[in-house]
Amino acid sequence: MSATITEKIFSGRCAREVVAGDVMMAPIDAAMIHDITGPLAIDKFMEMGGTTVFDPAKVILLFDHQVPADSIPAAQNHVMMRRFAEEQGILNYDVHEGVCHQVAVEKGRVLPGDIVVGSDSHTCTYGAVGAFATGIGSTDMGFALRFGALYFRIPESIRAEAAGAFAPRVGAKDLVLSIIGDLGADGATYKAVEFTGPAMEAMDIPGRMTCCNMAIEMGGKAGIVPPDATTHAYLASIGARTTRKEDLTPDDDATYAAWKDYDVTDLVPQVAVPHNVDNVVDVTDVAGIPVNQVFIGSCTNGRYDDFLEAAEVLGDETFSPDVRVIIVPASRTEYLRTLRAGLIERFVEAGAIVEGPSCGPCMGGAFGLLAPGEVSLSTSNRNFRGRQGSTEAEVYLCSPATAAASAIHGVITDPREVA
C-alpha cells in the first residue's frame, strides 16, 4: 500500500502495516536528554520505579544549554546528570561536544528509519538523516528511559515539495522560513512534514538539518527528508552505517493531509520579524532596521557550512562597531572545521566574539541577553517575546548570509547586495 515516510518507518519497526491515526506503543532507537530537561526526566524515571535505563547505548546525554555552567543550579544539574550517566553506564558527552541535535547526528547516533525521542522540541532535526524524531516532555522521557518505548499517535503528513535551484545567497533557511510563513506557526500541528523535491535532493545534510529543525516552528511533530545517496554518503563520512533495508521513499499517492509545491528559483532571502516565527517577510521589506546584536549559531545554523556562507559574505570587510557579533559553533567538530579553514580568525579579526560550542544566546539562558529596546538578528529558530532576554527586546530570524551582511552594516541588509 502507498505510504508516507512516517508510516513506512513505523511499519518497519512494528512489523505490521501502520497508518496515520493509529495509536501504538512503539520501541525507540535512541533517547536524547540535555542539561535543561534531563534532570526532570531522570526524576520521572525514578518516580516510575526505574533503576536501570532500557539500554544505556541508546541514551544520548550531554550538556549544551548552560555551559560552562552559568549558575550554581546549572552546575548542580550537571553534577546530578554526570552521576546518573556514570551509574547507568551511559556515554556522557558532558560539556565537550556541543548542541544536542548536532551532536546526535554527527556522532552517528541517529540512523535512517530510526524512531527517536528527545526531551527538546528541536529533536525533529534528525529527520535530516531520514529518522522519525520528535520532541517530548520530561515525563514522557522518564517513561522512554524506563521502558524503551513510548505511545505514539502516528501523525498525518504534509508534503512540502521544493522544485528549482537557489539563487546565490539564498538557501535552506530562507526556504524553511518561507514554508513557515506559508503554513503558519500551527499549520503542521500534530503532523509530520516531509521535505522532498529537487531542491531538497540537491541539498546536503547541514541544509536538510536546518529545514527539519524548524518543522516544530510550524507545529510539526517531525520533519523528514527521504534518505538518499547524500544521506548514505554523509553517514559513511562519519563512520556510521545503517543495516536497515526497507525503502523509505514516500509514495506520491500516499494519503497526505496537504501537499504543498514550492519553487525556490525566485526565492529571496527571508526574515521572520518579531514576535512570531511565521511573521515572515522578504529581507527587502525590513532592510535598514538597525540591530544591536547579531548571533550566528544554534542547532539551526551553527555548522561549518553556515559559517562559510557568512564568511563569504563578510569577505575582507569588518563588522560594524555598533553591533555585537556573537558566533557560536554548534559542535566541537564543526568548530574545528571552521577553525582549520581560517574562518574563526577572519571573524575575530572582523570584530566578532566567538564562544565555545553551546546553545549560546539562542534561548536567552547562558549569555548574550538583550536589554529592553534592543534588536537582535539571529540565525536561530525562535523569536518569541523574551526568548533572548528582555520581553521588550526584538528578535529577527534570518540566514547566516543575511546575518553577516547585516552585521557589516549595522542594519538589516540584503546579502545579495554585498559583493
Partner 1 sequence: MRVWKFGDDIDTDAIIPGRFLTIYESAELATHAFEGTRDDFAREAKEGDIIVGGRNFGCGSSREHAPLAIKGAGITVVVARSFARIFYRNCINTGVLPVICPDADTIREGDTVEIFPEKGCLTANGVRHDIEPVPAFMQKIITAGGLVEYAHAIEELELCTK
Residues 6+ apart with CB under 8 A from 204: 230, 234, 305
Q: Closer to partner 1 at the Cβ: 220 or 400? A: 220
Residue 11 or 379: which CB sits closer to ligand SF4?
379
Task: Kindly tell me which of 37 and 320 has the beta carbon lying closer to ligand SF4.
Answer: 37
Q: Is the dihedral of CA 91, 237, 297, 126 positive or negative?
A: negative
Site residues (vs ligand SF4, CB under 6 A): 64-65, 99-101, 120, 122, 298-299, 359, 362-363, 380-381
CB of 361 to partner 1, least distance (A): 11
Q: Which residue carries 512494528 as its cell? A: 14
Looking at 2, 190, 246, 342, which residue binds partner 1 (CB under 8 A)?
Answer: 190
Q: Which is nearer to ligand SF4, 116 or 264 (CB)?
A: 116
- Rounded CA-CA distance 396/99 in Å is 21
Residue 136 interacts with, from ligand SF4, partner 1, none (CB under 5-8 Å by kind):
partner 1
Q: Which does 99 bind (CB under 5 to 8 A by kind): partner 1, ligand SF4, none?
A: ligand SF4
* Of positions 47, 252, 322, 349, contacts partner 1 by CB under 8 A: 47
Cα 186 off chain centre by: 18
CB of 300 to ligand SF4, least distance (A): 7
Angle at 154 between CA 150 and CA 156, to 5 degrees: 150
* 337: partner contacted, choices ligand SF4, partner 1, none (Cβ within 5-8 A by kind): none
Exactly one of 339, 367, 385, 410 binds partner 1 (CB under 8 A); that residue is 385
Contact in structure between 194 and 226 (CB atoms under 8 Å): yes
Neighbouring CB atoms inside 10 A of 139's CB total 16
Cell 549544551 -> residue: 64
146 contacts which partner out of partner 1, ligand SF4, none, CB within 5 to 8 A by kind?
A: partner 1
- Asked if 366 contacts 385 with a C-beta cutoff of 8 angstroms, the reply is no
Query: Could you tell me if 155 and 3 are in contact, meaning their C-beta atoms sit under 8 angstroms apart?
Result: no
Q: Quote the cell numbers at residue 371.
A: 536589554
Give the H or E element holding residue 159.
Answer: strand 157-163
Amino acid at 37: T
Binding residues (CB under 8 A) for partner 1: these are: 10, 13-16, 18, 23-27, 36-37, 39-40, 43-44, 47-49, 65-66, 71, 73-74, 76-77, 119-121, 123, 135-140, 142-143, 146-147, 149, 151, 153, 185-186, 189-190, 219, 221, 276, 363-365, 382, 384-387, 390-391
